[in-house]
Chains A and B, each alone.
Chain A
Amino acid sequence: MNSPEMPPGMAARFVGQRVPRKEDARLLTGRGAYVDDIVLPGMLHAAFVRSQIARGRIRSIDLEAARSAPGVRAIYTAADLAKFDLQLHLMHGVVGPIVRPLADGRVAHVGEAIAIVIADDRYLAEDAANLVFVDCDAETPVVTMDQAADGPTVHSNLESNVAGGIQSPDDPELPAIFARAAHVVEGVIVHQRQAHSPMEGRGVVASRQGEGEMTIHLACQSPHMAALYFTQLFGERTDVHFRVLSKDVGGAFGLKVQPWREECAIIAAALLLGRPVKWIEDRLENLTSACQAREQRCKVRMAFDADARWLAAEVDFETNVGAFPNNPDIGALAMMMFPGPYRVAKVGFKTRAYYSNTVGQAAYRGPWMMESLARETMLDKAARQIGIDPIELRRRNLITAADQPHTLPTGLAVDRVTPRECLELLLEKLDLPAFRAEQAKARAEGRHLGLGVAVYVEPTTMHGFGGPLVSDSAHVRVEPSGKVSLVISTHSQGHGTQTTMAQVVADELGVPIADVAVLEDDSSRGGFGPGAGGSRQAVSGGGAAIRASKLLSQKIKRLAGHLLNANPQDITIADGLVRVAGVEEVTTTIKRIAQTAYYEPARLPPDAELGLEAQYRYQPPGTFVFSNAAHACVCELDAETGVVKILRWIASEDCGVMINPAIVEGQIAGGVAQAIGGVLMEQISYDAYGNPTAATFKDYLLPTAHDIPQLEYCHLVTPSASEGGFKGVGEGGAIIGPPTVVNAVADALSAFGAECLDLPLTPAKLLKLIDGA
């Protein structure tokens, strides 16, 4: 566990080290505990009956044949759940349609859940579900943004299909700037709809524990948030205490932040039925009914002076949020972040989000990523139009240390970021002149390499606007066994918090990392916190863990001083051994201190609290914690087939103090892989009738090991102002990755005088452009 560079005899220090993950032995031997692994006595299985049409009125639901199918225990429709009067609210966001767990009288998208069939096993439930006949009057759906803008409203209680939007205040200077600008660059960037596609879909097991308690096993991003949600949702009419358990989750990326209709329907069903009910989303459901992401269109105008200094931008952003979004994004953060780490003085913007008869939108890793995608691709376009190297354009406009703290024209204040420095480090690693030479040589041989570079800052750890994201809570204790337990409001779906939080606590307390157990899987344990989402856990959870551990350390030292007749300030703790500085022969262990603290009150100082426990609820300072990076990608575009291969990827990043560089790199690589998939191959689309056209992994193409090179990294460390100096990094690869790929392809395409900002960049699309040139 120790870094091999540590001098002998020095205490173990874990923060900053590539510590192997504590989770791995369990997960590698197939001993994870995911929601589908939960088996309860008497548990039944659910399958949903789903709408085959995108829009219409339900005339009747014929359950007769289904009810008498083998093994069927119950079938529920909206009418059965009406007694709970469930109206699903959004954890974050705008008032919108009334959302019931099941379709009630009307359907608004293909795949919408209409009925729950509950049977002895999933096979039987599906058999019966196939015997339910739903008779609908079909109506012409609105599928695209443009149809939604003008078409009939998706939700009858709303006046239009505009789910929301913002606009910057009128600025009369903007038109003047554009009018006199030496260069005006315009473009439209279109991002297709995507499916989050975690390898584990959604899932829930809902179990009544007597009259007043429900235990919910849920694939989620925070057991606390989920328990809060269910309490708020069911609260008035059920007076039920919810406990949410969530140990291992097979990826989420924003899909599992907010419990949504099916999960809530299953809980209602379990309440009605009085037996545990399990629903595990299969891949067909996941790709056609689980909330989806992106589908945005962004029109950009940028004004530059004669020296290629970026003066101003106008941005028009639209997005299709589907019928029942659980986290509709009206583009506010994307617009606020649009200036990025550049000295541009003015940005005007307008956004619109539209409802449509498609699956609703959920947040997806870096939901505001259009700011980086649109800005960085347009900067490259500007560079080509102006006739200047895209790197040079960035050098002239990027903020440096001297500019900070820097306030974006949209109001956000950015500090402690190193975009320029990361760019220079990146270029050094890339060896730009060598690449350009290689590129020229390849072109002479008929091969088309492209280089894409993108730079951004990331607003991690959003916590300054109030609401559930404000703080995280850590409770840390030394057990009478001498081992340390940390109960914390973080939650991993692959983030490795079982390891990173243990590293932090082990360092603060001076104990072996193997002795620290991290517990984050139970809403009934520990204090409320938002878990995963928004790249926050290292900062907020790490900060809470540090502060709680400092308090506990003080208690240990005070007690040790009392027991060892020494000044607490002379007490040192390392590897679980407690010593008095300068008095080598006097030692004891954390374990003995703990046993005294719990079992021998008479030996404690008169006013001391028994036991060894401490708790802290931490709010990071400021509004956001900004991290930053510059990425580069080298691709090869095959002019014969239009196929793009990513040859090389460099991430030059600054996320402050890294708790575990291996985990940091893992997060970056995962985001980059999603970016590559999103730019080159993933696509959720609908036909004119609102039928999804990608229902399996044969059609929805995810990148494989073949598509992702071994990433190279440069790390700068500019500590944040928060406890530990950490910054968020989880979403970054998925934000900066897309423009990096698009710019690389654009560089290769430029040899043909073509460009494409209409994602995904499929071989067919690219070949048309290559040959049309």
Chain B
Amino acid sequence: MKPAPFDYVAPTSVEEALEHLARGAGDANVLAGGQTLVPLLALRMATPSLLIDVNRIPELAGVSRVTGATRIGAATRQKAVLKDPTVAAQVPALTKALSFVGHPQTRARGTLGGSIALGEPAAESPATALALGAVVEARSTRGAREIQVEDFYLGPYTTTLEPDELIAAVRFPDWPASTVTVVHEVSRRPGDFALVGLVCALALDGGRVSRAGVGWFGMGPQPMRSRRAEQALVGLSASAADLAEIADMAVSETEPLDDAQADASYRRKVGGRIFQRLVGEALGVRRAA
């Protein structure tokens, strides 16, 4: 399983990378961690003429704080994000999500930006970004723009990123310090893509939910978000919560597929159950007998 031939460049600045991308005319791939792209190259399912390696661009990697948000360079290794104390403090859902991603050997190379750009429907990072209301900073030779993650995913492995655009960073706006988070996945083996995965962030204000973010992975042709369920969660307190109905609502906003691992009805059922149980636990709801 050897890749087809391609040209390769390893620019050392974002500008240089953007120039290559612009000239690549849609037949270039960005090589970040390679954990997804290289297998596609090996299977000859991807046959770009040009590979633009972004691993030698210092400004593309690193975690920093900007006003009201945590900014993670697209080429930051998943391993680094997982261990980063700022992320742990400010975006704990992302830290939890990354603990499910692959294995140490893949996290040593895989990048957050690569994962966000791919938009694997059963992957943890895109769904987490979606649930938390993250923002993609995209750049091209034509300029820079910001894309809300909720507008970013169009379909299976399809994003609004233009062929000449590069993700420079992903920004995670702050949630209140009181926020509790749930990240859970059901998979066949640890490190596998999820059969069903849930990311839920609940900001609490005086014991009531003031803001909710509900994202799913493995529950549709792209990362999914349950907006109506989010609205239904707002205002809930632990004592008043009837999560069965909200769980149904949340699942109804997903579009799970049948595949070799599980069918859609399995995913809906399990999705509803883990939502009810784990969101309930996060809220401190006592389960009805």
> Chain B's nearest CB lies how many Å from the CB of A641?
5
The answer to the question of B2 belonging to the interface, with a C-beta cut-off of 8 Å to chain A, is yes
A430 within 8 A of B: no
A435 within 8 A of B: no
Segment at the interface with A among B65-73, B79-87, B222-230, B261-269: B261-269
- Check B260 against A767 for contact (C-beta < 8 Å): no
- A681 & B188 in contact (Cβ 8 Å cutoff): yes
Q: In the complex, which of the residues B1, B190, B261, B277 contacts A706, with contact meaning CB atoms closer than 8 Å? A: B190
Identify which of residues 672-711 in chain A touch chain B, using a CB-to-CB cut-off of 8 Å: 681, 683, 685, 693-694, 696, 699, 701, 703-704, 706-707
Q: How far is the CA of A404 from the CA of B176 in the complex (A)?
A: 76
CA distance A219 to B51 in the complex (A): 36
Q: How far is the CB of A374 from chain B (nearest CB, A)?
A: 26
Contacts of B196 in A (CB 8 A): 641
Shortest A677–chain B CB gap in Å is 10
Q: Quick one: which of A123, A683, A707, A764 contacts B2, CB cutoff 8 A?
A: A123
Is B273 interfacial (CB-CB < 8 Å)?
Answer: yes
Q: Does A609 contact B (CB under 8 A)?
A: no
A762 to B2, CA, bound (A): 33
> Which residue of A is nearest B5, CB measured?
A127
Contact partner of B186 (CB less than 8 A), chosen from A122, A643, A699, is: A643
User: Roughly how many angstroms separate A656 CA and B263 CA in the complex, as a whole number?
Assistant: 47
Q: Which residue of A lies closest to B43 (CB)?
A: A284
Name B223-267 residues within 8 Å CB distance of A.
260-263, 265-266
Chain B nearest CB, measured from A326 CB (Å): 24
| Contact string against A for B residues 155-193, beta-carbon threshold 8 Å, 1 for contact and 0 otherwise | 000000000000000000000000000000010111010
A126 to B5, CA, bound (A): 11
Task: Determine if B4 is an interface residue (Cβ-Cβ < 8 Å).
Answer: yes
**Are B260 and A122 within 8 A (Cβ)?**
no
- Chain B residues touching A, range: 20 to 34
Given A283-B1, A640-B270, A767-B269, does the pair A699, B260 have CB atoms closer than 8 Å? yes
Task: Give the residues from 279 to 303 in chain A that come closer than 8 angstroms, CB to CB, to chain B.
Answer: 282-284
Asked if B44 is an interface residue, CB under 8 A from chain A, the answer is yes
Cα distance A681–B189 in the bound complex, in angstroms = 10
Q: How far is the CB of B248 from chain A (nearest CB, A)?
A: 15
**B274 on the interface (CB 8 Å rule)?**
yes
Q: A123-B2, A701-B189 are in contact. Are A642 and B266 (CB under 8 A)?
A: yes
A66 vs chain B, min Cβ distance (A) = 14
Is A24 located at the chain interface by the 8 A CB criterion?
no
How far is it, in angstroms, between the C-alpha of A640 and the C-alpha of B276 when the chains are bound?
11
When distances are taken between beta carbons in the complex, the residues of chain A under 8 Å from B192 are 701
Closest A residue to B191 using CB positions: A704
User: Quick one: given A130-B44, A707-B189, A763-B186, are A641 and B270 in contact (CB under 8 Å)?
Assistant: yes
Contacts of A283 in B (CB 8 A): 1
CB nearest neighbor in A for B267: A764
Asked if B195 CB lies within 8 Å of chain A CBs, one says yes
Contacts of A704 in B (CB 8 A): 189-190
Residues 732-749 of A, flagged 1 when their CB comes within 8 A of B and 0 if not, give: 000000000000000000
A771 interfacial by beta-carbon distance below 8 Å? yes
Of all chain A residues, the one with the shortest Cβ separation from B3 is A123
The 8 A CB mask of B268-286 against A (1 = contact, 0 = none) is 0110011001000000000
Whether the Cβ atoms of A767 and B4 lie closer than 8 Å is no
Q: What is the minimal beta-carbon distance from A644 to any residue of chain B, in angstroms?
A: 10
B261 & A762 in contact (Cβ 8 Å cutoff)? yes
Cα(A497)–Cα(B5), bound, Å: 44
Min distance, Cβ B179 to any Cβ of chain A, angstroms: 25
Which residue of chain B is the closest to A707 with respect to CB atoms?
B189
Measured in the bound complex, the distance between the Cα atoms of B269 and A767 in whole Å is 9
Interface residues on chain A, size class: 20 to 34
Contacts of B270 in A (CB 8 A): 640-642, 767
Chain A hits for B195, CB < 8 A: 641, 763
Asked, given contacts A704-B190, A706-B190, whether A130 binds B4 with beta carbons under 8 Å apart, the answer is yes
Q: How far is the CB of B195 from chain A (nearest CB, A)?
A: 7
A680 to B99, CA, bound (A): 24
Convert B13-36 into 0s and 1s, putting 1 for each residue whose CB lies closer than 8 angstroms to a CB of A. 000000000000000000000000
Q: How far is the CA of A706 from the CA of B39 in the complex (A)?
A: 24
CA distance A217 to B179 in the complex (A): 63
Is A127 a contact partner of B260 (Cβ separation < 8 A)?
Answer: no
Would you give the 0/1 interface string for A115-151, flagging 1 where the beta carbon is closer than 8 Å to chain B?
0000000110011001000000000000000000000
Residues in A619-675 with C-beta less than 8 Å from chain B:
640-643
Cβ A764 vs Cβ B1 within 8 A: no
> In the complex the two chains form, what is the Cα distance from A284 to B260 in whole Å?
18
Cβ of A127 and Cβ of B4 under 8 Å apart? yes
- A641 near B186: Cβ-Cβ < 8 Å: yes
Q: Give the CA-CA distance A642 to B265 in the complex, in Å.
A: 13
Q: Is the CB of B260 within 8 A of A694?
A: yes
- Closest residue of chain A to B47 (Cβ to Cβ) is A130
A693 contacts B260, C-beta separation under 8 Å: yes
Tell me the B84-101 residues at the A interface (CB within 8 Å).
none
Find chain B residues with CB under 8 A from A707 CB.
189
In the complex, what distance in Å separates the CA atom of A706 from the CA atom of B100? 14
Tell me the complex Cα distance, A643–B273, Å: 14
- Contact check, B2 vs A122: say whether CB atoms are below 8 A apart: yes
- Residues on A with beta carbons closer than 8 Å to the beta carbon of B273: 640-641
A683 and B260 contact, Cβ closer than 8 Å, known pairs A640-B277, A642-B266, A767-B266: yes
With a cutoff of 8 Å between Cβ atoms, the chain B residues found around residue A641 in the complex are 186, 195-196, 270, 273-274
User: Once the chains bind, are B2 and A126 in contact (CB under 8 Å)?
Assistant: yes
Residues of A within 8 A of B2 (CB): 122-123, 126
Measured between alpha carbons, how far is A699 from B44 in the docked complex, in Å? 17
Alpha-carbon distance A683/B259, docked complex (angstroms): 13
Checking B190, B261, B277 against A764 with a beta-carbon cut-off of 8 angstroms, the contacting residue is B261
**B5 x A706 contact (CB < 8 A):** no
For A127, the chain B residues whose CB sits under 8 A away are: 4-5
Knowing A640-B277, A764-B262 touch, does A771 contact B269 (C-beta < 8 A)? yes
A121 (CB) vs chain B CBs: closest residue: B2
Instruction: Find chain A residues with CB under 8 A from B1 CB.
Output: 126, 282-284
Report which residue of A283, A681, A762 has the largest number of chain B beta carbons within 10 angstroms of its beta carbon: A762
**Complex: A123 Cα to B4 Cα, angstroms:** 8
Residues of chain B within 8 A (CB-CB) of A693 are 260
Q: Which residues of A contact B4 (CB under 8 A)?
A: 127, 130
The answer to whether B188 and A701 have CB atoms under 8 Å apart is yes
With beta carbons under 8 angstroms apart, the residue of B5, B261, B265, B274 that contacts A640 is: B274
Interface residues of A in 705-721 (CB under 8 A from B): 706-707
Chain B residues lying within 8 Å of A762, measured Cβ to Cβ, are: 261-262
Shortest beta-carbon distance from A129 to chain B in Å:
10
A130 to B5, CA, bound (A): 12
Contact check, B44 vs A763: say whether CB atoms are below 8 A apart: no
Q: Which residues of chain A come closer than 8 Å to B266, judged between CB atoms?
A: 642, 763-764, 767-768
In A430-445, the 8 Å CB interface with B consists of none
- Residues of B contacting A130 with CB < 8 Å? 4, 44
* Residues of A with C-beta under 8 A to B261: 762, 764
1/0 per residue B181-223: CB within 8 Å of A?
Answer: 0000010111010011000000000000000000000000000
Which B residues are in CB contact (< 8 Å) with A683? Answer: 260
Considering the complex, give the chain B residue whose CB is closest to the CB of A702: B189
> Which residue of chain A has its CB nearest to the CB of B263?
A764
Cα of A175 to Cα of B5 in the assembled complex, Å: 68
Q: Is the CB of A706 within 8 A of B188?
A: no
Which of A122, A685, A706, A763 is in CB contact (< 8 Å) with B262?
A763
With both beta carbons as reference points, the residue of chain A lying nearest to B1 in the complex is identified as A282
A residues apposed to B, CB below 8 Å:
122-123, 126-127, 130, 282-284, 640-643, 681, 683, 685, 693-694, 696, 699, 701, 703-704, 706-707, 762-764, 767-768, 771
A-B CB contact pairs (8 Å), 16 listed: A122-B2, A123-B2, A127-B4, A282-B1, A640-B273, A641-B186, A641-B270, A641-B274, A642-B266, A685-B260, A696-B39, A696-B43, A704-B190, A762-B262, A763-B186, A763-B266
Q: A696-B43, A704-B189, A763-B195 are in contact. List 14 more A-B contacts (CB 8 A).
A: A123-B2, A127-B4, A127-B5, A282-B1, A641-B186, A642-B266, A643-B188, A693-B260, A762-B262, A763-B188, A763-B266, A764-B261, A764-B266, A767-B266
